[in-house]
A and B are shown apart, each in its own frame.
Chain A
């Protein structure tokens, strides 16, 4: 197994980089990622616990936006995602998964929302409908 790490660099061709070539960050990367995460975690908690914004829709959108940014921060600084890792396969798999996740989430919410808006409020004049 240990041989694999050394003789199987098919697309690198040279052996003079890392001993094990999984991408890893420096201390700087981890600290930057951590500081950004703390800020991006503190802001949404402060917004909700301090009742800073009254409009619930705006607040929800801000929370989702900050959450998305923080996920990207984690991906880059902690999971060391880059377009080059594993020859691009990591990113390809991630994009494919994200497409499926968006279809699942948005699709379920959309379909179920329509189902509810068509079924739940039981119009009073239902009997008069054809």
Chain B
């Protein structure tokens, strides 16, 4: 059944969108990530204009993070002060990200920028995650002891210290602020929540305990992607609510199946699978940049040279 999307101005099969949302929901339920990094490239692939895909992707992330954050709040696994600091950085990052997005769109380099971001960040994170999981699995097999993290890092020497009770940290607000800014910029340019950047950054840079990491990152992602959606809607009119609704509907069902499947797998196995998935997406996008395109010409309606 074809459905005409009012903002994207293309007609797409409804079941394709539901299925797409479902697959991404399945993965996000399985791995506990927003899935934005998958949905945006997949939307490009089915012919949704990139600007619409990015903006609508952000809207879809809002839905998945709302349902995630509600569950985490119930478990008291959200460090709200930390989330707010990350959020301030995130909003600054998102606003400048939208500016950069519009600038690159005018220059005709937005597709390249989005693809490069995906290749660099996804590829990097994927490889790191893969190596880390391999190390953990090997350590478990040999029965070795986990090396205790050094809590005294450079982050302790910075001013504006603040006590984050839920995380059990007494650190400067500058590092979380910077992490927030980075994630905000990426959220605006890539149409992702940025969980795949933020979660490792919180664990390895800020040394937050793992149990509050997911909830706190979801809390921040929720507000940053809501802000990003609003900014895209106001400045570019590129949020397609019909598209978002179908993706969300599929995603909700997929997430339920995914989290049930996830309960049956081990954390390390899940992480390795996620790492492989991330690497595959990054490789595919990287290949597109290097392989000679089918047609070196492309057209964009509107705009000036």
Decide if A and B are genuine partners.
no
